[in-house]
Structure 1
Amino acid sequence: MARVSQQHLDARRRQILDGAARCFARNGFHATSMQDVLREADLSAGAVYRYFSGKEELIGAIVTEVLDTVRQAFEEAALQSPPDPPDVLVGEVMGRVLRGEYVRGPAADVEVPRLLIQVWTETLRNETLAALLRTGYDTVRVAWVKVVEAYQAAGLMRDDIPAEHVARTMIAAVQGFAAQQALFGEAPVEILQDGLRGLMSMGTPKPG
């Protein structure tokens, strides 16, 4: 029997994840069955179960990919000296997430925020997924803290405010914008960037 190349295995795994992501974003986790995933990915049960034991494992793999994309983007930014301003940096990372760069198939764009909402909702009842999300969030938060510390070291941001607090607020801005995309419709990332620029422009009030 001919050996299957690693490239083929990776492509098949990608095909399964793309199909599952489309199903989950469209119908939610509970309304999606493994049969739905099989049809969407156009694969047999044997082909899918070779890679994933079931729906829970598929969900975990997709969540991990999303978080890894965000973490990697901010770790790369932290290596710059100094990093791009927050409005540029956050907009760039948000754009990558919204474009679905973590999924190299059709499961992209507007479906990504919908998928994130599904994940957050599922963590309220699924402790395994909640633990996975917490671990992923911690790695993302550490990456963002490094970015803020780089701003402070370059004198671009106040250093009397804990970097951890600033990082959490930046994460909240991205999460909130993703939620707006899912709940109220698609909006350009430039809106988030403009909003951040507006907040960054505040200074000391002029004396009366």
Structure 2
Amino acid sequence: MARVSQEHLDARRRQIIDGAALCFARNGFHATSMQDVLKEVGLSAGAVYRYFRGKDELIAAIVSEVLTDISGVFESAARQSPPPPPDVLVGRALSAVLDLRPGMRDGARSHFPRLMIQVWTETLRDERLSALMAGVYARVRAAWVSIVEGYQEAGMMRADIPADHVARTMIAAAQGFAAQYALFDEVPVEALRDGVRALMSMGETS
């Protein structure tokens, strides 16, 4: 019997995760059955269970991947030197988040913001996923604190406000934008970018 290559195994796992992500984004984690996933990916139960023992394990894999992708985007932004202004930086970061996983099928990628909302709600009931979310949030927050400290040192931002407070606010703006994008009409990233720029301009004279 021919040995299955690692490339083939990885591609099959990718196929399963992408199909499941699309199902979960459409109907939520708990309204989606493994039969729904099998139908979406066009594979037998045996083929899928070779990679994931059940729906909870599949959910955990997707949540871990989504959170890792998101944290990577913001950590990459934090490494830019010098960092661009906050409105530019948050716009770039959100654009990258919405365009994550170029290898994902178009249908699954277009549902990515809705999947993020599903991930947030799932972590409320699962302690293991909650701990994973907390760890990713800490990494993203640390990245933004570093960015804000850079702004303060460069005289671009007032230094009498704790950098952590500003970081939390920027994260909240990004999370709120993602929620609007997923729940309502697809809000353009430019709306968030322009809004941050307008808030930054308060106190300036024309």
Q: Please say if residues 65 and 102 of structure 1, whose CA atoms lie closer than 8 Å, have aligned partners that are also in contact.
A: no
Aligned CA-pair RMSD = 2.0
| 2:170 maps to amino acid | M
The answer to whether the 8 Å contact 1:60/1:132 transfers is no
Gaps of 5+ in 1: none
Give runs of aligned pairs for residues 49-88 of structure 1, distance below 5 A: 49-88=49-88
Out of 129-138 and 174-183, give the one that drifted further. Answer: 129-138
Aligned residues between the structures: 205
In structure 2, list runs of 5 or more residues that go unmatched. none
Query: Shift in Å at residue 3 of structure 1?
Result: 2.6
Counterpart CA distance in 1 for 2:33 and 2:103 is 20
Q: What percentage of residue pairs aligned between the two structures are identical?
A: 68
Letter paired with 1:16: I
Cα deviation digits, residues 92-118 of structure 1 (max 9, x gap): 121122234376223112x12211222
- Tell me by how many angstroms 1:22 deviates: 0.3
1:165 and 2:165 matched = yes
State the TM-score, normalizing by the size of structure 1: 0.89
**Preserved CA contact (<8 Å) 1:151 1:157:** yes
Tell me the CA shift for residue 6 of structure 1.
2.1
Whether contact under 8 Å (2:73, 2:97) holds in the other structure is no
Give the Cα–Cα distance (whole angstroms) in 2 for the partners of residues 153 and 101 of structure 1. Answer: 34
Displaced runs of 4+ in structure 1, greater than 6 A?
A: none
The 2-side partners of 1:57 and 1:146 are apart by 34
| Residue of structure 2 in register with 1:138 after alignment | 138
Following the alignment from structure 1 to structure 2, what is the Cα–Cα distance between the partners of residues 161 and 44? 57
Cα drift, residue 129 of structure 1: 2.1
Partner of residue 108, structure 1: 109
Inter-CA distance 102–164: structure 2 relative to 1 (3 Å threshold): farther
Q: State the 1:158 CA deviation.
A: 2.0
- Structure 2 residue aligned with 1:29: 29
CA offset digits 1:4-44 (Å, max 9, x no partner): 22222221111111001100000011110111111111112
Instruction: State the SS of the aligned residue for 1:108.
Output: helix
Once residues 98 and 174 of structure 2 are traced to their aligned partners in structure 1, the CA distance between those partners, rounded to angstroms, is: 11
Where does residue 45 of structure 1 map in the other structure?
45
Distance between the aligned counterparts of 1:28 and 1:61, measured in 2?
15
Inter-partner Cα distance in structure 1 for 2:53 and 2:102:
22
Q: Distance in 1 between matches of 2:65 and 2:31?
A: 22
